[in-house]
Amino acid sequence: MKRIFLAITAACLILIVACNIKQVSTTKVNETTGKAITFYGEAFDAADKTLSVEKLYKKMKKTAALNTTIKGEVENVCLKKGCWMTIKNPTGEPMRVTFKDYAFFMPMDCHNKIVTFKGKAYQDTTSVKMLRHYAEDENLPQEEINKITEPKVEIAFEATGAYFN
């Protein structure tokens, strides 16, 4: 009887885990170019009008939040899981990109690659605790982490999907 109970319990656990696994990437063929695109998170129309980070920042001067598609070059990525990245910003500080509901992660070897994101840009204040967490994810030295003493007001982006160009 114990063996049957253990077998049923194990089967239930396997089903629960299998049902919670999220597909991180899908491949879709661009109908215009015929080229296969690997999407992370939700697939979206690759022909959507995209903004550069610089143009996004100009638009964000007039609004607190904006649903859009952006394109930029990866400056940095979380080296622990790929759960965030920063995109180069020619007008100043890089822009942080996170992924909605931790639904997907990006490859950790994507520095300097061009990526397109779909999601929401918004004004954000990042706490000292979170800034230090990001610094730890970057494997920065403790001396650098200790220098973080003030929260940071910035434009952030929460992506629902992404692909590399």
**63-73 per-residue burial string, b: 16 or more CB within 10 A, e: under 16:** eeebebbbbbb
Predicted TM-score (pTM) of the model is 0.75
Backbone torsions φ then ψ of 19, nearest 5 degrees: -75, -20
CATH number at residue 139: 2.40.50
Q: What are the pLDDT digits (tens) for 59-84? A: 998 888 999 999 999 999 988 889 99
- Amino acid in position 81: K
- Looking at the predicted structure, is the pLDDT value of residue 125 above 80? yes
Containing structural domain, residue 96: 2-164
- Looking at the predicted structure, is the pLDDT value of residue 12 above 60? no
| Partners of residue 69 on adjacent β-strands | 118
Beta strands (DSSP E) in the chain are 25-29, 36-41, 51-52, 65-77, 84-87, 95-99, 114-126, 152-164
- Looking at the predicted structure, is the pLDDT value of residue 27 above 80? no
pLDDT (0 to 100) of residue 30: 64
Number of domains the chain contains: 1
In a 10 Å sphere around its CB, with 0-12 CB exposed, 13-18 middle and 19+ buried, how is residue 23 labelled? exposed
pLDDT (0 to 100) of residue 23: 41
Sign of the Cα torsion 21, 24, 29, 31 reads positive
Give mean pLDDT, residues 117-138.
91
